[in-house]
């Protein structure tokens, strides 16, 4: 568990550091590469007038549609962590740190499941779009680290033990073994503790209870607002992208060589910020951190991912239909 914790913490430190380097252009050559990786296939050859991306290391790419893999990994891996978290809730009783961590994991499960649905059925991936393999690998590792960061150490230890057993036996099916009636009943009991905690933040008294309740319920509210708005703007962008593609097909014969045109989304947060779907994602992650910290369990490491939205948001701002 200690080794796994060090790996996860190391990833967040590196992720945060590279995000800052990219956002602030601290190392010109490296910063440009990191920003291109963060765009995840949102740009095209016209964004590379110097032809630097024709070099061999720029050509190691994967289809942009593989973006969905991130959410598949997140849904499956967090489900394992959440199952163990709910069991720990039942065994730990009303310990707010254990239940709060499970609540944060539950919120993340709902979020990443929604993102999987959107990526598979709502988003319109650009035909021929590619993203660099480095960005792809970082995304996969990201969705492995977030569930472990949100899990209470007791649940993380159970997950680590399951992974070790699966590795030793050579079978991924052992991750949830043994699933018996006792553990399923414990998980159901843990779910009841989580539901109660989400609305009462019970387990403390006095000023501590007041602050805990404010952070937990405020975090749940922020998470809900962030998810609702992000879904709204992803649907809006997908519709605009669909209209742009249809118009492009109709006018293709008459406009060969002409510059592409993009519709500008209007309404809601689009009138306030240039990339409201990224702003909403930052908000929902802040909500999950508030839930975890308000319950006495710190999981602030995931907020270090916020600077990573900067380069991607910059690419989206110049071509919003490609988000």
The string of pLDDT tens digits covering residues 171-183 is: 766 666 667 788 8
Global pTM value: 0.82
Instruction: For residue 310, count other CB atoms closer than 10 A to its CB.
Output: 18
Q: Which residue has the higher pLDDT, 265 or 303?
A: 265
Confidence at residue 318, expressed as pLDDT on a 0 to 100 scale: 43
Greatest mean pLDDT among 86-95, 252-261, 268-277, 304-313 lies in 268-277
In the three-class reduction of DSSP (H, G, I as helix; E, B as strand; rest coil), residue 63 is classed as strand
Angle ∠(303,218,200) on CA atoms, nearest 5: 125
Instruction: For residue 168, count other CB atoms closer than 10 A to its CB.
Output: 9
Place of tokens 């609702």: 228
Confidence at residue 216, expressed as pLDDT on a 0 to 100 scale: 86
Q: How far is CA 241 from CA 122, 144, 178, in A?
A: 11, 30, 46
Q: Which residue has the higher pLDDT, 172 or 278?
A: 278
Distance CA 30, CA 177 (A): 44
Distance CA 10, CA 22 (A): 18
Q: How confident is the model at residue 46 (pLDDT cuts 50, 70, 90)?
A: very low
Confidence at residue 35, expressed as pLDDT on a 0 to 100 scale: 82
188-191: which pairs have CB atoms within 8 A and are 24 or more residues apart? Answer: 188/86, 189/89, 189/90, 190/85, 190/86, 190/87, 190/88, 190/89, 190/90, 190/99, 190/102, 191/86, 191/89
Distance CA 276, CA 74 (A): 23
Angle ∠(17,105,308) on CA atoms, nearest 5: 20
Q: Which residue has the higher pLDDT, 98 or 41?
A: 98
Are the C-beta atoms of 307 and 28 separated by less than 8 Å?
no
Greatest mean pLDDT among 13-27, 193-207, 223-237 lies in 223-237
Q: Is the peptide bond before 42 cis (omega within 30 degrees of 0)?
A: no
């Amino acid at each position: 568990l200690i080794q796994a914790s060090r790996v996860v913490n190391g990833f967040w430190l590196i992720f945060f550091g590279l995000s800052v380097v990219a956002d602030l252009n601290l190392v010109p050559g490296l910063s440009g590469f990191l920003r291109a990786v963060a765009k995840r296939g949102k740009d095209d050859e016209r964004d590379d007038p110097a032809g630097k991306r024709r070099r061999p290391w720029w050509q190691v790419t994967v289809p942009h549609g593989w973006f969905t893999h991130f959410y598949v990994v997140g849904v499956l891996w967090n489900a394992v962590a959440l199952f163990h978290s709910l069991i720990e809730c039942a065994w730990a009783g009303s310990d707010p740190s254990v239940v709060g961590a499970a609540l944060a994991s539950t919120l993340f499960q709902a979020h990443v499941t929604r993102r999987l649905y959107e990526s598979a059925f709502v988003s319109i991936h650009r035909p021929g779009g590619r993203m660099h393999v480095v960005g792809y690998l970082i995304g996969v590792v990201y969705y492995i680290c977030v569930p472990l960061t949100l899990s209470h150490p007791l649940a993380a230890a159970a997950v680590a033990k399951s992974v070790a057993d699966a590795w030793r036996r050579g079978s991924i099916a052992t991750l949830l073994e043994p699933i018996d009636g006792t553990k399923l009943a414990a998980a159901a009991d843990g779910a009841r503790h989580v539901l109660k905690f989400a609305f009462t933040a019970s387990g403390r008294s006095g000023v501590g209870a007041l602050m805990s309740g404010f952070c937990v319920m405020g975090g749940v509210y922020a998470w809900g607002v962030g998810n609702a708005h992000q879904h709204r703007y992803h649907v809006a962008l997908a519709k605009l992208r669909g209209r742009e593609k249809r118009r492009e097909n109709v006018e293709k014969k008459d406009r060969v060589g002409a510059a592409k045109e993009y519709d500008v989304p209007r309404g809601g947060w689009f009138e306030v910020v240039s990339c409201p779907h990224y702003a909403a994602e930052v908000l929902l992650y802040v909500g999950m951190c508030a839930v975890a910290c308000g319950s006495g369990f710190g999981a602030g490491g995931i907020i270090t991912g916020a600077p990573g939205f900067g380069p991607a948001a910059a690419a989206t701002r110049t071509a919003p239909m490609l988000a």
